[in-house]
């Protein structure tokens, strides 16, 4: 009998040059560069260039990349009209998945996987995703969408489209760092989904909408919203210990903790923790941060021995909250960044493609007689 690896744990299903993870030591590198180095020194745009080209850009290359990305910030009128027609109470992840999928309808050549065209499509989807999320959020608040500002960075343009005012340099930088930290992460569930779709030689819009669907789940990108819901439910620092003890006693999964790969502190969480602390102080609202560090402490005492530590979603919830983002925009923020990683992986997949088609171990019956419908009990 074949050995079945439930959840494909430990199965190596692809070679990649995007990100390296050492789950025991808590190391994450993009193309060999430590995530901490990138978070301190890089920008999201430069990080995307790195992932799409496996090297850092020279100045002129980065300028050209920024120019090309900014030129694609605007939404096609069809997508704008579509968003206007969406029910106001729709969930932003469903909106995002639908709008990205619909972009295929206004692409004259949606199915092309020719490398240069594929990259151009990836760039356009990445550039427009912020406008999709912001346009829907503004419309549901009864506000008109704002035209993108092509002089702004990816991070600043998104916050501008959402809020109608340009972010402070601190807010822009904090959001930019969040985008860097979420850009890629090995063969996670949504990236694997994207690579499976790409491996059938399907189009990039199908790749992106499938990956967005996988990301939405609470065991993956949806956990950042789950963290916020948990913080709201707990309500105060004093109630943290009893809440955590009770949840663990009832075998509840604590959102934002644990990881299939990391059995040490997720290096992205280390950085986000610092960011969350700083932003909470800056905005004068430290309650959520204090509750989060209380949960971390209680969880550490209870389950660190089992290798369960905060993951990327734990402190990103407090960070996004401090940046003024609404709860149901947290997972779309993950998608906004991760689109770059999905694209990188699919470019890589197509460069040396083989259909991804694993086996399943059949565990049902054999040689069963066909019973006519009138004789079935």
Active site residues: 220, 259, 313
**Nearest approach, Cβ of residue 192 and ligand CMC (Å):** 11
Q: Give the side-chain half-sphere CA count within 13 A for 374.
A: 0
**Nearest approach, Cβ of residue 34 and ligand CMC (Å):** 19
Rounded Cα distance, 354 and 331, in Å: 31
Rounded Cα distance, 96 and 126, in Å: 12
Pick 172 or 266: Cβ nearer ligand CMC? 266
CA 335-336-339 angle, to 5 degrees, is: 70
Pick 123 or 211: Cβ nearer ligand CMC? 211
**Nearest approach, Cβ of residue 8 and ligand CMC (Å):** 10
What is residue 21's three-state secondary structure? strand
Residue closest to 178 by CA, chosen among 360, 303, 347, 331: 331
User: Contact positions toward ligand CMC, by CB under 6 A?
Assistant: 7, 185, 188, 219-221, 223, 253-260, 303, 306, 308, 311-313
What is residue 10's three-state secondary structure? coil
**Nearest approach, Cβ of residue 122 and ligand CMC (Å):** 21
CA 115-99-159 angle, to 5 degrees, is: 95
DSSP E strand stretches across the chain: 19-22, 27-30, 33-34
Question: In sequence order, what are the residues at sequence separation of 6 or more whose Cβ sits closer than 8 angstroms to the Cβ of residue 169?
Answer: none
Pick 110 or 217: Cβ nearer ligand CMC? 217
Rounded Cα distance, 65 and 46, in Å: 8
Residue closest to 68 by CA, chosen among 118, 119, 108, 111: 119
Which contiguous run of DSSP H or E holds residue 278?
helix 267-283
8 A C-beta contact, residue 103 and residue 205: yes
Residue nearest to ligand CMC as judged by C-beta position: 258
Pick 56 or 261: Cβ nearer ligand CMC? 261
**Tokens standing for residue 168:** 């402070």
Pick 70 or 220: Cβ nearer ligand CMC? 220
Pick 124 or 295: Cβ nearer ligand CMC? 295
8 A C-beta contact, residue 109 and residue 97: no
């Amino acid at each position: 009998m074949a050995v079945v690896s439930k959840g494909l744990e430990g199965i190596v299903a692809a070679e990649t040059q995007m990100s390296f993870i050492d789950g025991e030591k808590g190391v994450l590198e993009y193309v060999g560069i430590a995530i901490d180095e990138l978070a301190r020194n890089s920008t999201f745009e430069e990080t995307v260039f790195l992932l799409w080209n496996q090297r850092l850009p020279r100045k002129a290359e980065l300028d050209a990349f920024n120019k090309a990305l900014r030129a694609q910030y605007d939404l096609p009128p069809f997508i704008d009209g579509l968003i206007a027609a969406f029910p106001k109470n729709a969930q932003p992840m469903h909106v995002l998945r639908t709008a990205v999928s619909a972009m295929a309808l206004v692409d004259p050549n949606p199915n092309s996987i020719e490398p240069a065209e594929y990259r151009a499509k990836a760039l356009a989807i990445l550039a427009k995703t912020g406008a999709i999320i912001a346009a829907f959020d503004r419309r549901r608040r009864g506000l008109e969408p704002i035209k993108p500002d092509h002089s702004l960075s990816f991070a600043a343009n998104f916050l501008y489209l959402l809020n109608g005012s340009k972010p402070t340099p601190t807010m822009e930088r904090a959001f930019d760092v969040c985008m860097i930290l979420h850009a890629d992460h090995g063969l996670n569930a949504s990236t694997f989904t994207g690579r499976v779709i790409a491996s059938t030689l399907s189009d990039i819009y199908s790749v992106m909408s499938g990956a967005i669907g996988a990301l939405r789940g609470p065991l993956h990108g949806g956990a950042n919203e789950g963290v916020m819901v948990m913080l709201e439910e707990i309500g105060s620092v004093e109630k943290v210990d009893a809440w955590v003890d009770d949840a663990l006693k009832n075998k509840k999964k604590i959102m934002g903790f644990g990881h299939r790969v990391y059995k040490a502190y997720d290096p992205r969480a280390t950085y986000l923790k610092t960011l969350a602390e700083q932003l909470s102080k800056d905005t004068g609202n430290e309650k959520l941060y204090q509750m989060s560090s209380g949960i971390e402490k209680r969880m550490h005492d209870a389950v660190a021995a089992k290798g369960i530590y905060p993951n990327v979603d734990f402190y990103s919830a407090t960070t996004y909250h401090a940046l003024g983002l609404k709860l149901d925009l947290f997972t779309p923020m993950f998608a906004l960044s991760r689109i770059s990683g999905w694209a990188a992986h699919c470019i890589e997949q197509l460069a040396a493609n083989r259909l991804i088609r694993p086996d399943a171990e059949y565990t049902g019956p054999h040689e069963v007689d066909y019973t006519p419908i009138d004789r079935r009990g």
